[in-house]
């Protein structure tokens, strides 16, 4: 559906009718979405192969499986999430009671990226549906096959006044539609520059936003780390989807005593995972388009390229690549790489490592590899970051019990599981006061009541 076909006034009218609010309606819509995933399973897999060369196993593990898990969590817990929860009541307001109700926000605008174009469009939608909202979904035009399947799924499953898809060039259609209609929440996943633009547009009408952005995520290797395990988990987190993942380790910080040994472990792990020719491996993806391909190639100019570096523009293929001790002022170390190039930077002291991280503050993710509780405690407490792992990389995203989101330059707000439901609802506080008692203490004149106020208000 293109810009001229989207009728947001009808969507507003549908929401205002109250049709989306009751439990049975919300549950039915979640079940429809779940059923559509089964019906279109082959089409989804084919589209993701065309767009990003993902094999069926990767599609399930990183796209449809995560989405199904989110739907199942919502179906199991929806009634409990919707139920008003009791809050405490202070002494001044006894014998009243206090409650929190979860109100739908209204019409939600979800703007998705191209790197995980299916699940990053629809996981937020699960929370919007569970929260009782209407939604407009804008899939990325850079993953056109997936965008087409996604539109077909939504058109077949929901009426357009409830949920619609907006197609087109994001830089054109997003500003136009945000200028013409006030959404109740905008959810954007993508780059920092575009996120800033979305934020500015939303601010004109005081529209709340969630920004899921990126950043330079460090993986810190302490002296006591298990290098073989660290190498496997970093290689998996870095090179899945050919490095086009916002939670990928962007660079490694390793104690200088371990640097060369770690690099050998990384090389062997890459060979074990993808073979001598990753371009022929069904486990390894492709770069999304020629613009991104050309951008990533600019990072290959560092002098100490110690592994990989091969590429084929006709296949949009760039091999898993390791670069040792790049200049900290280089583009490789000042920009989010978002591709299959892994810088390995050595440090001598924690202060030195912290100074390197501080050059690109507020990473979306941080990973520390250590078997010492004091070491992990140090890094978790000393570095501001969105979320992360100890002795793992990237997999925190798959845990729906954890809120996922950034901090500072890496984003605003968090979602997944119950957190998505809470994101797309307003926690409306209500205090209920009985009429069977009505103390004169609460009413004027207040002269002479100070001692009671001091006793009650504390």
Q: Tokens 């002494």 belong to which residue?
A: 91
pLDDT score at 295: 97
DSSP state of 60: I
Residue 100, strand partner residues: 85, 429
Going from the C-alpha of 423 to that of each of 66, 105, 127, the distances in angstroms are: 19, 9, 8
Q: Are 339 and 299 in contact (CB under 8 A)?
A: yes
Contacts of 444 (CB under 8 A, 6+ apart): none
pLDDT score at 303: 83
> CA-to-CA distance for 101 and 82, rounded, in angstroms?
8
Assess whether pLDDT exceeds 80 at residue 448.
yes
Angle at 95 between CA 92 and CA 101, to 5 degrees: 90
pLDDT score at 1: 60
Is there a shared CATH topology between the 3-213+408-430 domain and the 218-403 domain?
A: no
The three-class DSSP label of residue 234 is helix
DSSP state of 199: H
**Tens digit of pLDDT for each residue in 370-397?**
999 999 999 999 999 999 999 999 999 9
pLDDT score at 452: 86
pLDDT score at 4: 59
Assess whether pLDDT exceeds 70 at residue 115.
yes
Among all residues, which ones are annotated catalytic? 212, 246
Confidence of residue 367 (pLDDT cuts 50, 70, 90): very high
pLDDT score at 284: 97
Query: What percent of the chain clears pLDDT 90, i.e. is strictly above it?
Result: 93
pLDDT score at 453: 86
pLDDT score at 390: 98
Average pLDDT over residues 37-63: 96
Lowest mean pLDDT among 65-69, 389-393, 448-452: 448-452
> CA-to-CA distance for 291 and 50, rounded, in angstroms?
17
Q: Which residue spans within 227-292 are E strands per DSSP?
A: 251-255
**Burial class (CB within 10 angstroms; exposed 0-12, middle 13-18, buried 19+) of 182:** middle
Q: How far is CA 103 from the centre of its chain?
A: 23
Residue spans of the domains in the chain: they are 3-213+408-430, 218-403
pLDDT score at 92: 87
Domain 3-213+408-430, what fold?
Answer: Aldehyde Dehydrogenase; Chain A, domain 1 (3.40.605)
Q: Are 202 and 419 in contact (CB under 8 A)?
A: no
Q: Tokens 């507003």 belong to which residue?
A: 12
pLDDT score at 5: 61
Written out in words, the top-level CATH class of the domain with range 218-403 is: alpha beta
Assess whether pLDDT exceeds 80 at residue 6.
no
- Residue 387: left (phi > 0), alpha (psi -120 to 50), or beta? beta
């Amino acid at each position: 559906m293109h810009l001229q076909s989207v009728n947001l006034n009808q969507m507003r009218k549908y929401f205002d009718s109250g049709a989306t609010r009751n439990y049975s309606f919300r549950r039915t819509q979640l079940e429809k979405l779940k059923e559509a995933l089964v019906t279109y399973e082959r089409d989804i897999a084919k589209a993701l192969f065309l767009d990003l060369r993902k094999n069926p196993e990767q599609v399930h593990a990183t796209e449809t499986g995560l989405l199904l898990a989110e739907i199942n969590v919502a179906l199991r817990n929806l009634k409990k999430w919707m139920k008003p929860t009791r809050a405490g009541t202070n002494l001044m307001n006894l014998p009243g009671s206090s409650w929190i109700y979860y109100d739908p926000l209204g019409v939600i605008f979800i703007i998705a990226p191209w790197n995980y174009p299916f699940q990053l469009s629809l996981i937020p939608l699960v929370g919007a549906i569970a929260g009782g909202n209407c939604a407009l979904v804008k899939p990325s035009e850079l993953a056109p096959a997936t965008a087409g399947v996604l539109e077909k799924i939504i058109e077949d499953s929901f009426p357009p006044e409830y949920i619609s898809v907006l197609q087109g060039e994001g830089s054109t259609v997003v500003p136009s539609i945000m200028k013409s209609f006030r959404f109740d929440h905008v959810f954007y996943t993508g780059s920092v520059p575009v996120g800033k633009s979305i934020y500015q547009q939303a601010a004109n009408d005081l529209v709340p936003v969630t920004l899921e952005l990126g950043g330079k995520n460090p993986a810190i290797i302490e002296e006591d780390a298990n290098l073989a395990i660290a190498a496997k988990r970093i290689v998996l987190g870095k090179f899945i989807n050919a490095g086009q993942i916002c939670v990928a380790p962007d660079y490694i910080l390793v104690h200088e005593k371990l640097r060369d040994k770690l690099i050998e472990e990384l090389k062997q792990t890459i060979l074990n995972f993808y073979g001598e020719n990753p371009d022929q491996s069904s486990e390894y993806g492709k770069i999304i388009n020629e613009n991104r391909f050309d951008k990533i190639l600019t990072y290959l100019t560092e002098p100490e390229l110690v592994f990989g570096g091969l590429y084929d523009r006709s296949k949009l293929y760039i091999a898993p690549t390791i670069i040792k001790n790049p200049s900290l002022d280089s583009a490789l170390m000042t920009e989010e790489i978002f591709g299959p190039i892994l810088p390995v930077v050595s440090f001598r002291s924690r202060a030195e490592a912290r100074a390197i991280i501080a050059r690109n503050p507020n990473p979306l993710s941080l990973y520390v590899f250590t078997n010492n509780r004091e070491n992990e405690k140090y890094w978790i407490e000393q570095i501001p970051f969105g979320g992360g792992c100890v002795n793992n990389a990237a997999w925190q995203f798959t845990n729906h019990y954890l809120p996922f989101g950034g901090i500072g330059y890496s984003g605003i707000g968090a979602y997944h599981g119950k957190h998505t439901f809470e994101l797309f609802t307003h926690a409306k506080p209500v205090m209920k006061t009985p009429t069977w008692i009505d103390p004169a203490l609460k009413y004027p004149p207040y002269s002479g009541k100070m001692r009671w106020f001091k006793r009650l208000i504390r």
